[in-house]
Amino acid sequence: MNEKSVLHPLMLAGTGSDVGKSVLAAAFCRIFLQDGFTPAPFKAQNMALNSYATPEGLEIGRAQAVQAEAAGVPCHTDMNPLLLKPQNDHTCQVVLNGIAIGQQDACEYFHKGPRRESLRKEVCEAFDRLSRRYNPIVLEGAGSLAEINLHDVDLVNMPMALHAHADVLLVGDIDRGGVFASIYGSLLLLSPEERRRVKGILINKFRGDLSLFESGVQMLEELCGIPVVGVIPYYHDILIEEEDSLALAQKSLQARQGKVNVAVILLRHLSNFTDFNVLEQDPRVHLFYTNNVEEIEKADIILLPGSKSTIDDLNELRRCGAAQAIIRAHRKGATVMGICGGYQMMGAEIRDPYHVEGDIEMMPGLGLLPIVTEMQGKKVTRQVHFRLYQRPEAGLMEGYEIHMGVTRPQSEGKNFTPLNRLEEGDSDGCLGSSTCLGSYIHGILDNPAFIDFLLEPHQEKIHTTNTPFNYHQFKETQYDKLAAHVRAHINLPLVYEILTQDYD
């Protein structure tokens, strides 16, 4: 393909949630990059607790940051102008162009009216800005493209495809069953104008012999009147960051000899679970997710992750006995480390006088660190560079912050040691001891030197040779493997024909 060709925007829309749109968008971003284009991802509205700070210190969904990485470009808020972070079953924090603008319940958010049209204008303008800088734009839909009850207020699926003049590939998950009905039914529920924008079908997560589905491909093409551009087999050996935490509980405890067993506490409102991806790949570590009391007490290291509702999650840990198990495990020698909301939980108390999280104004913490946290309305979002406070020779490291609270020593000057020193001179976190520590920095465990520091008290358990793990190189390899897998199972010349042919 001529690298100077101008391609139409491409949208990956789905028959439902979790059909693989996010990962396929990352795959197409990498394929277009490999083929000489300058792609960029876009999702008008994302609902996720897993977020990321851009180089400008603004907040977007982690999935779009991953897709930008696959595209080889810096992430930007224009790639995800509207982010919804669920607070509970009915309420979300709304992040617009990287900045939290308040909370809304679902009824208020989806209400048709001037506010909704204002949001539509914002996301359309973000797409327009992005499309002037990159080609092609790889758009991702949300949920099903045919949620007809929400059609008039939809910002992210077919209305966005129409605004962008995007060619749409409809993605169906054959692994969950019902793929014929979901694809055909989705198309029937679209208006004629919307249906014309859907140029192909992509079957995802196929298991078994592909030749057995050849008749299925023919049937779909005859039923729908558009081509099936590919059938993507299920894969097991490619590791791409997931958008949500649904599969985390499957990574359960199977305590292993010769490794450090690391338990990540499975919170109800767990956020930024990608903090643990690098640690999970470390050959010295066996990492699992749990809130089971017996499993927690078998761990060598206990990690308390970030939370979108810190006080509520802390209350739940007490209710189920996990909080007490964490304290008992620490007394017996386990390391406890908290990140962001998990760091806040480790202190003496969490105060919420302004009701940022809810009606509870004060909650006692786990009492493991001499700190007190006060929730405040202003959110901190920034990328940071830092060194270990007591071991600066370990080198400069990097990460990012996304949090609402301000944490201070419980008693000024007494028994308080920062964990990190930021490059600009501020301190971060608290080091109670080599086995009790906390930090606000997401991505802190992406730094090999910090992982070495964390594992140091448990060196006697490690029987494997410590070989350096380059996470950046690892991710680049995974994006290339993903692109090769998708490229091998789609009709790429047909996709390029769709993206260059004038159908209007």
Burial 438-447 (b: 16+ CB within 10 A, else e): bbbbbbbbbb
442 is catalytic: yes
Task: Please tell me which residue in 29, 224, 340, 430 is annotated as part of the active site.
Answer: 340
Which runs of consecutive H residues, i.e. helices, occur in 35-171? 62-71, 106-109, 114-131, 158-164
Tell me the C-alpha to C-alpha distance, in Å, between residue 265 and each of 221, 335, 446, 475: 47, 13, 18, 25
Q: Which residue has the tokens 């509980």?
A: 249
Distance in angstroms (rounded) separating the CA atoms of residues 16 and 3? 33
Token digits for 155?
């910002």
The secondary structure of the chain in percent helix, strand, coil, rounded to multiples of 5, reads: 35, 30, 35
Task: Please tell me which residue in 76, 286, 442, 458 is annotated as part of the active site.
Answer: 442
Distance of CA 352 to the CA centre of its chain: 27
Residue 429 makes CB contacts below 8 A (sequence gap 6+) with 343, 418, 419, 420, 437, 438, 439, 440, 441
Distance in angstroms (rounded) separating the CA atoms of residues 59 and 52? 6
Strands 285-290 and 260-265: parallel
Distance of CA 236 to the CA centre of its chain: 19
Count of C-beta atoms within a 10 Å radius of residue 303: 22
Distance in angstroms (rounded) separating the CA atoms of residues 375 and 377? 7
- Burial grade of 151 (CB within 10 A; 0-12, 13-18, 19 or more): middle
Tell me the C-alpha to C-alpha distance, in Å, between residue 483 and each of 4, 60, 151, 446: 21, 24, 33, 24
340 is catalytic: yes
The residues annotated as belonging to the active site are: 340, 442
